[in-house]
Amino acid sequence: MSLVVYLAAGVFGFSSVLLFRRRPGALRDPLALSTCAAIVLGSLVFVCAAPLTLSAVNDLTGVPNFGAPLTYGMLSAYSCSLLVLLVNWRGGPRERVRRLVLRCMAAYAALIVAIVVLFALGDARTERLTDLDTYYATTPGLREMIALYLTGHGAALVAMCAVCVKWGREVTGLLRTGLRLILAGALLDLLGFQATKSTAVVARWTGHDLDFLSTTVAPPLASLAALLCSAGFVLPRLLPAAVAQWRGLGEHRELRPLWAAVRFASTAPQPRTAWWWLPQERLRWREVSIHDALLALAPYFDEDVRTRALDAALRAGRSPHQARIDAEAAMLAAAARRAAAHEPPLDAPSPYRLHATEVPGTSGLVELARALPGCLWTPRESQVR
């Protein structure tokens, strides 16, 4: 069980690393900071709830079941962080946001203090690593502590569900998808973890034994619910960047034929740290390097080559735009061969400007790269002046 809980904590917490990796100013962004705080606290809840951690904490402090108020306090802090995150995510006037955040923090701080006090007043001499909630469900002090932490966590989940339903009607796109994931996670936590735990505790109050709900059913449902909530918070912030990186990777690969043909003419040095660059950074460097190479090859551009290739492309049924790209590819291929052979530049090079240098971004370069391997007309060396 501990291994599963630690794995859930690791996956849950890794998303916070991704958020901070995204940009250096994340610590100054209340939304990014509150998102990461909620995810980290959720990870710590899992870590604290693992039987191995509970046993280690109890041995370290010398207090039987000291891990219980630690875990319950961490869970209450996590509940508070979820509400704070929703407040920051929803936004609004700064003073109103600040006031709501302070109210949430004050309420759950009082809850955490009450949990610690009730634990100190109760009698928990027998160490229980997996079934403390039900074992001490009827013990004075501990009984109130258990009811209090379940109530605090349940209240946060109900508030989350209400906000997600209301706000989900007002937004679209990735934000709505994220809210639906959060709602699914909150409902699973409410109906899976909260309901099963409460049912098992109430069963003890009435003299029945449904401990398996608390010890076997609740933990995996809580893990799944936390992962869904984490995905809901992170998805709207990371998915656009992930999609952009994926597109950058595809365009970087599509530029390979063009880069292979002109890289010898580029004077842009590759930085030593390029091996760990993300796809978009690699794409930007390749774009700059190719433009540098095209500038170096411009003295070898032959207008006659381009004109002949353009006529051939039009006769083959190409559209005017595609015929232009094919002609430019043929002219570039001829220029690259001449430059690679260390031949002198043309006496009267073509003043023609490539389409790839007229449009922003890499779309023009990608079109040129696609046309380069299959030029409709490739001049023989004897035709190159």
pLDDT digits (tens, 9 = 90+) for 123-139: 988 999 888 999 999 99
Residue 378 near residue 330 (C-beta atoms within 8 A):
yes
Each residue's pLDDT tens digit, 4-33: 556 656 666 665 565 555 555 555 677 777
Note whether residue 252 is domain-resident: no
Q: Are residues 223 and 265 in the same domain?
A: no
- The predicted pLDDT at position 237 comes to 73
- The predicted pLDDT at position 335 comes to 92
Note whether residue 366 is domain-resident: yes
- pLDDT class of 46 with cuts at 50, 70, 90: confident
Q: Are residues 179 and 231 in the same domain?
A: yes
- Residue 198: give its domain's CATH number: 1.20.1070
Q: Are residues 275 and 231 in the same domain?
A: no
Count of the separate structural domains present in the chain: 2
Kindly report the number of other CB atoms within 10 A of residue 224's CB atom. 17
Q: Are residues 349 and 226 in the same domain?
A: no
Q: Which pair of tokens denotes residue 354?
A: 């490539």
Residue 299 has pLDDT above 70, yes or no: yes
Each residue's pLDDT tens digit, 87-103: 887 788 889 999 999 99
Of 243, 268, 298, the domain-final residue: 243
Q: Are residues 186 and 263 in the same domain?
A: no
Note whether residue 249 is domain-resident: no
Q: Are residues 297 and 198 in the same domain?
A: no
- pLDDT class of 275 with cuts at 50, 70, 90: low
Note whether residue 106 is domain-resident: yes
- The predicted pLDDT at position 169 comes to 86
- The predicted pLDDT at position 30 comes to 78
- The predicted pLDDT at position 13 comes to 61
Give the chain's mean pLDDT: 85
Of 193, 216, 243, the domain-final residue: 243
- The predicted pLDDT at position 105 comes to 94
Note whether residue 294 is domain-resident: yes
- The predicted pLDDT at position 278 comes to 82
- The predicted pLDDT at position 11 comes to 60
Range of the domain at 372: 257-383
Residue 385 has pLDDT above 80, yes or no: no
Q: Are residues 266 and 135 in the same domain?
A: no
Q: Are residues 326 and 285 in the same domain?
A: yes
Q: Are residues 238 and 280 in the same domain?
A: no
| 275 vs 130 pLDDT, higher one | 130
- The predicted pLDDT at position 277 comes to 80
Residue 119 near residue 141 (C-beta atoms within 8 A):
yes
